[in-house]
Each structure stands twice: as structure tokens, then as C-alpha cells.
């Protein structure tokens, strides 16, 4: 029985970008950014079918939430000193 193979597309690059963001957020203990990047990874999976600009709009929203959920630069510097 042959399974349907998913071709290697841009989805995997976006999922990799989300994984890098997730690891950065976890390193800085930015939990809001971690949740946002996890949603970004899940939404970018190629088996999730969206028609039209829906996926792009949600990916942009998750990316925007990711950026605003990070702590201030002074808090990041404090974490890096410790």
C-alpha cells in the first residue's frame, strides 16, 4: 500500500523558521513568543489546506504576535548576563 507523498515545498522552510523562533523564545523564556511560534509551525504544515490568502494572513498575524510578545531589550540583556 503506497502512501501519498507530500512534495518538499516552501512550507518546510517556514516550519524551520518557526522552529528557530521557538528555540530563541524558549532560550529567553518568552512564553508568549513560544506559543506564537508553535502556532506558526503548525499552521505552516503542508497537510493543512487553506484556500486563498487565509494561510498568509494567519502566518503574518502569528509573526506579528511573535515580535510583540518578546520582553524588552533590557530584560534580554539581564538574562544574558546571568
> What's the pLDDT score for residue 82?
73
Q: What is the distance between the alpha carbons of residues 60 and 56, in angstroms, rounded to a whole number?
A: 6
> What's the pLDDT score for residue 22?
95
> What's the pLDDT score for residue 23?
95
- Taking only the tens place, the pLDDT of each residue in 28-82 is 888 999 999 999 999 998 888 877 788 889 999 999 999 898 888 888 888 788 7
pLDDT tops 80 at residue 1: no
31: cell is: 512564553
The predicted model scores a pTM of 0.78
Amino acid at each position: 500500500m503506497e502512501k501519498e507523498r507530500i512534495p518538499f515545498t516552501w512550507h518546510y522552510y517556514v516550519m524551520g523558521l518557526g522552529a528557530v523562533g521557538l528555540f530563541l523564545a524558549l532560550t529567553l523564556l518568552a512564553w508568549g513568543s513560544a506559543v506564537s511560534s508553535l502556532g506558526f509551525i503548525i499552521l505552516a504544515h503542508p497537510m493543512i489546506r487553506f484556500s486563498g490568502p487565509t494561510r498568509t494572513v494567519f502566518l503574518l498575524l502569528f509573526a506579528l504576535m511573535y515580535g510583540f510578545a518578546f520582553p524588552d531589550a533590557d530584560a534580554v540583556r539581564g538574562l544574558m548576563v546571568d
